[in-house]
Amino acid sequence: MSDNTSVAPERAATNHTLALVLICVAQLMVVLDGTIANIALPYIGDDLGIGDASLQWVVTGYALAFGGLLLLGGRLGDLYGRRLIFIAGVSVFAIASLLGGLATNEGLLLASRGLQGVGAALAAPSALALITTTFPAGPERSRAFAVYAAMSGIGAAVGLLLGGWLTGSGFDAFGTHVDGWRLTFLINVPIGLFAAAMAPRVLTESERHTGWLDVPGAITATLGLLSVVYGLSRAGEEAHGWGDTWTITALTVGVALLAVFVLVERRQEHPLLPFRVLASPSRAASFGAMFLMPAAMFAMFFFLSLFVQNVMGYSPLKAGFAFLPFCFGMVLAAGLSTNLVGKVDPRMIAGVGTLIASFSLFMFSRISVDDSTRHLLQLAADGGTLGDDVNYWTAILPWVLTMAFGMGCTFIPLTLTAVHNLRTEDSGIGSGVLNTMQQVGGALGLATLSTVAIHTAGEWTPSGAAAPASGAGAGADPAVAARFGELAGQAAFTEGATTAFLVAAGMGLLASLIVWTQLRVKHTELATEAPAGVHV
């Protein structure tokens, strides 16, 4: 009898560990794919002929499909079983990754990124909900959430490091050369298939619930978000701008579709987004902050990865290593947050975290280069690099670390408060809302900040004396003149990126204000479930 009682807890603990490992592997795959292509962007653009204005769609296309369909993915998990939908999601993700790695033009690549987003939208909410139903409330669930939340932040940095390594490591097989950037997609294939094969062995199926799928809600929400992001992206292009007819049309249609989505949800018997999920002020505050903060993090990875490669001249692998300290910062913050969450109210932890992250973004906005005409001409003649003006160890590394620490202290408590005390049948949709806020916030935020950056860069002119009409002076070497144009483009990009960082810091401060004023969950509440009948 004693042997049986001792073996059972050990077996349960082992099963929980295996389940958490599998869920986190899938989450890591989904999250790192949001950034793994960032390092490869310049190479993807060159190989497939994708212009700078369209490159952001490699990132936002994935995030939009992911975020726009997350609510539907959460609902599917509630209705048909979370393990089944999890397996379907990682399988679709693996297939889409294969198509992306084999893409031969812009259209095929962007389509595969959208399909990857569909797979992620199926897998992610089911993964988070499986933690809620697998681990009992209290320290064990808090630790599981801490590991899961850490994967969300670490995955972004790991994606950049892995992307850098893979981008620079193309290989030849069967007489065909495989470009390194393609490996950033192909690596997901074996991981996804492994997760799909292992899920039936280590995950238990959740209870299924009755109801209908809200297809009209899914369509209006996804198309509305897509239209808004397209309008924002088009507004940033110099050839179009805010006054362009299609820009105005896209934004108007997008807002109208989102308004229709709200009306549809209010009239549906089984809505995609039950508004009761938002009834708790603290949960609504968690969702709001999780909408704003990922936008800031997307901006850091997107603009900074381009800056260190295109301006500072880093190789893909070196650029990946430049973000490696982010992983250490997230691990440290995850450990600290996990220890504090049972002793300190989440408002204190997340409030401080958002302030630290906002300060980090402000410091990124202080990165400067000498953009005077004289200096650019001198660099063009000497073969210098504009990035020589920037010291990684003092201008970038400290703020990468503080950004990681701030985001780690933000994600973990907000993840806990966002899904705390949800009804069992709403745990999947609650997880979907949380992930939706992260992905849609990141996509909309990046589109907005890209518009700010492109607009600022378009108005940039060299300081000091005006550049000669030839680009580098009458009778100058054509190579020097061409190099001057490249350096001027880098200086313009730097001006746009730092302005975007400043706006992102403002987003972080707004998130901090929401947390400090609206998040009222006590740390003692996170150790227990709500009494029967009071779930919201």
132, 427 in Cβ contact below 8 A?
A: yes
Calculate what percentage of the chain has a pLDDT beyond 70. Answer: 86
Cβ neighbourhood burial of 94 (10 Å; 0-12, 13-18, 19+): buried
Secondary structure class of 172 (helix, strand, coil): strand
- Beta bridge partners, 178, equal 171
pLDDT of res. 167: 82
Taking only the tens place, the pLDDT of each residue in 345-373 is: 999 999 999 999 999 999 999 998 888 88
Same-domain check for residues 245 and 290: no
Looking up tokens 């709403």 gives: 426
- pLDDT tens digit string along 118-166? 998 888 878 777 887 777 777 777 778 778 777 766 776 677 778 888 8
**φ/ψ (deg, to 5) at 515:** -65, -50
Sorting pLDDT into bands at 50, 70 and 90, what band is 428? low
Secondary structure of residue 102 in the 3-state scheme: coil
Which alpha helices (DSSP H) does 81-208 contain, by range?
A: 82-101, 106-134, 139-167, 180-186, 188-202
Q: Is the pLDDT of residue 69 over 70?
A: yes
Instruction: Give the amino acid at 174.
Output: F
Instruction: Identify whether residues 146 and 248 lie together within a single domain.
Output: no
The pLDDT of residue 177: 57
Q: Which helix (H) or strand (E) holds 414?
A: helix 397-419
Question: Is 499 inside a domain boundary?
Answer: yes
Judge whether 529 lies within some domain.
no
Q: Which two tokens stand for residue 322?
A: 């430049």
pLDDT of residue 527: 61
User: Is a pLDDT exceeding 90 seen at residue 20?
Assistant: no
pLDDT higher for 426 or 437? 437
User: Over 90: is that where the pLDDT of 378 sits?
Assistant: no
Give the integer Cα–Cα distance in Å for 449 and 497.
Answer: 8
| Mean pLDDT lowest among 296-300, 410-414, 516-520 | 296-300
What are the pLDDT digits (tens) for 205-231?
Answer: 766 766 677 888 888 988 888 888 888
267-277 pLDDT tens trace: 887 787 777 78
Residue 417 is predicted with a pLDDT of 87
The rounded distance, in Å, linking the Cα atoms of 307 and 299 is: 12
- Looking at every residue in the chain, the average pLDDT score rounds to 81
What are the distances in angstroms from CA 219 to CA 65, 72, 226, 341, 445?
Answer: 11, 10, 11, 38, 21
H/E element, 171: strand 171-173
Domain count, the chain: 2
Q: What is the pLDDT of residue 13?
A: 54
Task: Please name every residue paired with 372 in a beta bridge, in sequence order, or none if there are none.
Answer: 463
Token representation of residue 515: 């947390």
Nearest alpha carbon to residue 428 among 153, 175, 74, 107 = 74
What's at 104, amino acid-wise? T
Angle at 37 between CA 165 and CA 487, to 5 degrees: 85
Same domain for 302 and 405? yes
Assign residue 432 the CATH number of its domain: 1.20.1250.20
Nearest to residue 471, comparing CAs of 385, 381, 377, 388?
A: 377
Last residue of a domain, one of 267, 282, 307: 267
SS3 label, residue 521: coil
Are residues 201 and 119 both part of a single domain? Answer: yes
Distances (CA, A) of 375 to 47, 107, 372, 395, 487: 32, 40, 5, 20, 10
- For residue 17, the model assigns a pLDDT of 82
Burial 235-245 (b: 16+ CB within 10 A, else e): bbbeebeeeee
Q: Which residue among 251, 267, 283 closes a domain?
A: 267
**Domain span including residue 229:** 215-267
127-131, 217-221, 250-254, 319-323: which has the minimum mean pLDDT?
127-131
* Spatial separation of the C-alpha atoms in residues 55 and 60, rounded to whole Å: 9
The percentage of residues in the chain with a pLDDT greater than 90, rounded to a whole number, is: 25
Own/partner contacts of 101-108, CB < 8 Å, gap of 24 or more, are 101/182, 101/183, 101/185, 101/186, 101/189, 102/182, 103/48, 104/48, 105/48, 105/49, 106/48, 106/49, 106/50, 106/54
Dist. CA 227–CA 204, nearest whole Å: 39
pLDDT for position 29? 83
Element (H, E) at 176: strand 176-178
Asked whether the predicted pLDDT for residue 174 surpasses 60, the reply is no
Q: pLDDT value at position 289?
A: 93
* 87 within 8 A of 199, measured Cβ to Cβ: yes
- Judgement on whether residues 259 and 206 belong to the same structural domain of the protein: no
227 and 210 belong to one structural domain? no
pLDDT band (50, 70, 90) for residue 408: confident
Contacts of 513 (CB under 8 A, 6+ apart): none
Q: Is residue 531 part of a domain?
A: no
176 with 307, same domain: the answer is yes
Among the candidates 206, 233, 267, a domain finishes at: 267
Phi, psi at 407, each rounded to 5°: -70, -35
Residue 148 Cα to chain centre, angstroms: 15
More confident position, 38 or 385: 385
Summarised one tens digit per residue, pLDDT across range 477-488 is 778 888 888 888
Q: Are 430 and 277 in contact (CB under 8 A)?
A: yes
In a domain, 520, yes or no: yes
Q: Lowest mean pLDDT: which of 73-82, 294-303, 459-468?
A: 459-468
Q: What is the pLDDT of residue 165?
A: 84
Domain match, 435 and 454 both: yes
pLDDT at 511 over 90: yes
Q: Do residues 222 and 295 share a domain?
A: no
CA–CA distance, 97 with 56 (Å, rounded to integer): 18
User: 120 and 183 share a domain?
Assistant: yes
Q: What is the pLDDT of residues 487-507, one digit of tens each?
A: 888 999 999 999 999 999 999
Phi, psi of 172 (to 5 degrees): -110, 130
Which DSSP symbol is given to 312? S
Backbone angles phi, psi at 397, to 5 degrees: -55, -50
Residue 59 belongs to a domain: yes
Residue with tokens 């993840």: 415
d(CA 10, CA 27): 25
Give the pLDDT of residue 180: 81
Question: 209, 429 in Cβ contact below 8 A?
Answer: no
Residues 183 and 308 in one domain: yes
Indicate whether 534 belongs to any domain: no
Whether 374 has a pLDDT exceeding 70, the answer reads: yes
Q: 89-103, 184-198, 225-239 — which is least confidently predicted?
A: 225-239
Q: Look at residue 535 and tell me if it is in a domain.
A: no
Q: Is residue 530 situated within a structural domain?
A: no
Residues 117 and 156 in one domain: yes
Quick one: pLDDT at residue 263? 92
